[in-house]
Amino acid sequence: PQGAAWLAPWQLRAAFAARLSAMYGREVPAYTTLVDVSREVNEDVLRERGADAERLGAIGRVTAERHGAIRVGTPAELAQVGRVFGALGMRPVGFYDLREAAASAVPVVSTAFRPVDGVELARNPFRVFTSLLTPADPRFFDADLRQRLERFLAERELFPAELLALADRAEAEQGLPGGDAERFLELAVGAFELSPEPVDRAWYETLERVSAVAADIGGVRSTHINHLTPRVLDIDELYRRMTERGVRMIDAIQGPPQWDGPDVLLRQTSFRALDEPRAMRQPDGSVVPGALRVRFGEVEARGIALSRRGRARYDELLARLDAEGPADTRADRARALWPDHFPRTEHALAARGLAHFTYHVVADRPRDGRTPPQDLPGLLREGWVRADPIVYEDFLPRSAAGIFQSNLDGSGTRKDGEAGAAYDSDWLSGAVGRDVLDPFALYEGQQERSLGRVAQELRLDRV
């Protein structure tokens, strides 16, 4: 049935991302400014650095690239999200526990839905950071509040049955014909729009005392996309230009510091959304105008995916920065310590196994009568093989917690001393009804496959 009007999962994904972006731009004008400034910065970087600017993704991909964030209340809702994104060729990757991150009290655990295959990522890398409320965590919710919350959540419907049926069909048949695709996209975007339904003020405020995130998720009868993030090639420059335009950004860029060596992982920054008018239902039943501040703007720059070893090194550095000095000097200390932890060239990152690359036989290497060495550092050194960096497609729990926190009013309450409820990646797989994939395993697989091809082409037993 796959004629001209057929939309494959990646086309549905690209169309969904574009429509979500149009909707969000209508609803949150500062987002449009952010997208415009990101595009300007990307054009300038491309002009200045030429092909080098595209080392971590072709400009077409980077310009269209977005991630969104949503938050849901129950495992059943999360499983439905999994079906909607399954139709778009997106799978849950990574487990993030934001309840534990230092200085934040966010009662959620998260994953990110994204394409996992190299070809699919190149077509459209749209991803959605998806958080699930943890009402069973006694550090946030007492037994009574938990029960009221779970009852409230069980009664709401975030995704209409028609949407879910279309999603299941799209996943099973690997796409949808034009008319159904149109309907699916309309319903899917609609499910993430801010609802005009009045907010029950007393209930919302009850949850807000625990956490603004709990209120945002469980205080209303619908969900909404709470930010949509473009990708920029020079985030420091973007930060300056947004500030010049009078947009007040959060104090810091989260993630690794700026330096003159290879960019790794992910750097992000955000600005607070403005109050948005929302109708409020008062305890006496009357509806009055009110305002809530639930959406914000964020932008990110992506670097090379670190290996498990590289990541351990990054996490050690974070722990050291926490332990050794005051928070307000953290950025400077990070910049000073960074060169002791990470080498200044991609070549060294590859040779020391700190980051992931795909490896390719250099086709036009001059023939000098030598035979290729068996080891990767040797192959790289003697010019047999070239290493292309694998871009980091995931998130960072610490940065995510920082992004959550910097966009909240109160810090909420987390009673410490009590044991937190146990949630882990396996638990989350059960909740979503799909395997939550390990991001490291995905990068390792991609790298291994490329090394297999190298070995074959150079007739080596292995590399």
Residues near ligand OOG (CB under 6 A) are: 69, 71, 129, 131, 226, 268, 298, 395, 399-400, 403-404
Shortest distance in whole angstroms from residue 217 CB to ligand OOG: 9
What are the b/e assignments for 392-430, b being 16+ CB within 10 Å?
A: bbbbbbbbbbbbbbbbbeeebebeeeeebbebebeebbe
Total binding residues toward Ni ion, as defined by CB under 5 A: 3
Scanning the structure block, which residue is given the tokens 């990470």? 342
Q: How far does the chain reach from its first CA to its final CA, in angstroms? A: 43
What are the b/e assignments for 22-45, b being 16+ CB within 10 Å?
A: ebbbeebebbebbbebbeebbeeb
281/302 with CB nearer ligand OOG: 302
| Contact string 32-71 vs Ni ion (x = CB under 5 A) | -------------------------------------x--
Q: Are 227 and 68 in contact (CB under 8 A)?
A: yes
The closest of 269, 267, 331, 318 to 297, measured between CA atoms, is 269
The closest of 15, 68, 10 to 183, measured between CA atoms, is 15
Shortest distance in whole angstroms from residue 298 CB to Ni ion: 5
53/273 with CB nearer ligand OOG: 273
By CB under 5 A, is residue 298 in contact with Ni ion?
yes
Shortest distance in whole angstroms from residue 294 CB to ligand OOG: 10
Q: Which residue is nearest to ligand OOG (CB)?
A: 400
Pairing of strands 66-72, 127-133: parallel
Pairing of strands 276-281, 287-292: antiparallel
Shortest distance in whole angstroms from residue 296 CB to ligand OOG: 8
Q: Among 45-53, 282-290, 298-306, 363-371, which window interacts with Ni ion (CB under 5 A)?
A: 298-306
The binder of 71, among Ni ion, ligand OOG, none, by C-beta within 5 to 8 A per type, is ligand OOG
96/140 with CB nearer Ni ion: 96
What whole-number distance in Å separates Cα of residue 104 and Cα of residue 162? 38
124/229 with CB nearer ligand OOG: 229
Shortest distance in whole angstroms from residue 67 CB to ligand OOG: 6
Classify the C-alpha dihedral 146-223-425-309 as positive or negative.
negative
The binder of 311, among ligand OOG, Ni ion, none, by C-beta within 5 to 8 A per type, is none
Classify residue 410 by its DSSP letter.
S
The binder of 404, among Ni ion, ligand OOG, none, by C-beta within 5 to 8 A per type, is ligand OOG
Shortest distance in whole angstroms from residue 273 CB to Ni ion: 13
232/349 with CB nearer Ni ion: 232
- The contacts of residue 46 (CB under 8 Å, 6+ apart) are 53, 54, 59, 233
User: Would you give the distance in Å from CA 279 to the centre of its chain?
Assistant: 31
The binder of 226, among ligand OOG, Ni ion, none, by C-beta within 5 to 8 A per type, is ligand OOG
166/225 with CB nearer Ni ion: 225
410/445 with CB nearer ligand OOG: 410
Pairing of strands 176-177, 276-281: unpaired
Shortest distance in whole angstroms from residue 216 CB to Ni ion: 14
The binder of 406, among Ni ion, ligand OOG, none, by C-beta within 5 to 8 A per type, is none
Structure tokens at 325: 């000095």
94/372 with CB nearer ligand OOG: 94
Shortest distance in whole angstroms from residue 385 CB to ligand OOG: 34
User: Would you give the distance in Å from CA 260 to the centre of its chain?
Assistant: 25
What whole-number distance in Å separates Cα of residue 236 and Cα of residue 79? 38
Tell which positions 192-231 bind Ni ion, by CB under 5 A: 229
CA distance readout (Å), 327 to 102, 161, 331: 12, 48, 8
56/70 with CB nearer ligand OOG: 70
Shortest distance in whole angstroms from residue 105 CB to ligand OOG: 14
In the complex, which residues of this chain contact Ni ion (CB under 5 A)? 69, 229, 298
